[in-house]
Amino acid sequence: MKRFIGIMLSMSLVGVFIVGNAFAESSEGLSAQAAKKAEVGAPITPDQIIARVEKAAKLVMADGSKSMDKFKGDSEFTGNGTYIWIHDLNGKMIVHPLKDTLDGTKILGIKDPNGKPLFSDMNDLCKKSGAGWVAYMWPKPGSDAPVQKISYVKLVKADKDYVVGCGIYCDKATVDKLLATNPK
């Protein structure tokens, strides 16, 4: 009988351990899963960034706010070192798949380590030109250290005005080349 109780107790502890680990993994949230997916894959090109933004823009244009869940966490819009995020012209982050703590917050005051008001600059560019490239410093997925990034952003008019963006981490020469393609 003591052996039976010992076995049952051991099995119960194993069960608690397994269930506990399952909850711990799910408590990491989709952001951790999306960050992991965003880290892997072949490097993406600027043309692929534009194509990804255009695909996302079509979805947002067609479905507006109803489409936002399709961009959260580990989605088809996350991978190969990059991801789609969406904010509005009023300066509110609508969806950021890797930093979901930004969702619903005012972001126009966010500056990179060099003092650049990146989201304000993105909005200004979109209001002026409709779309283009913005360079700034931002951490790579899975890191806290800001590095050079350039993002393609596009204004999308749907049930409200959205800015859809996607970027790449690259060298200064690539940044300069892409910025030169922006309308003057």
pLDDT at 155: 98
Measured CA to CA, the distance from residue 173 to residue 175 in angstroms comes to 5
- Residue 106's DSSP bridge partners are 92
pLDDT at 93: 98
Q: Is the dihedral of CA 163, 61, 130, 73 positive or negative?
A: positive
Burial 71-87 (b: 16+ CB within 10 A, else e): bbbbbebbbbbbbbbbb
Q: Is residue 7 a part of any domain in this protein?
A: no
Amino acid identity of 74? D
Q: Is residue 56 a part of any domain in this protein?
A: yes
- CA 96, 98, 175: angle at the middle one, nearest 5? 80
Q: Is residue 89 a part of any domain in this protein?
A: yes
pLDDT at 18: 30
Q: Is residue 4 a part of any domain in this protein?
A: no
Read off the pLDDT of residues 137-178 as tens digits, 9 standing for 90 and up: 998 888 889 999 999 999 999 999 999 999 999 989 999 999
Measured CA to CA, the distance from residue 164 to residue 34 in angstroms comes to 18
CATH number at residue 76: 3.30.450.20
Measured CA to CA, the distance from residue 27 to residue 48 in angstroms comes to 32
- Burial class from Cβ neighbours inside 10 Å (0-12, 13-18, 19+) for residue 98 reads buried
Read off the pLDDT of residues 65-111 as tens digits, 9 standing for 90 and up: 999 999 998 889 988 888 999 999 999 999 999 888 999 999 999 99
pTM above 0.85, yes or no: no
Domain count, the chain: 1
pLDDT at 44: 83
Domain containing residue 116: 33-179
Measured CA to CA, the distance from residue 44 to residue 118 in angstroms comes to 22
Share of the chain above pLDDT 70, in %: 77
Q: At 121, phi and psi to the nearest 5?
A: -65, -40
pLDDT at 165: 98
pLDDT at 183: 85
Q: Is residue 13 a part of any domain in this protein?
A: no
Q: Is residue 2 a part of any domain in this protein?
A: no
Share of the chain above pLDDT 90, in %: 64
Q: Is residue 39 a part of any domain in this protein?
A: yes
Say yes or no to pLDDT of 5 above 50: no
Q: What average pLDDT does the structure give for the chain?
A: 82
Say yes or no to pLDDT of 33 above 70: no
Measured CA to CA, the distance from residue 103 to residue 23 in angstroms comes to 23
pLDDT at 52: 96
Q: Is residue 131 a part of any domain in this protein?
A: yes
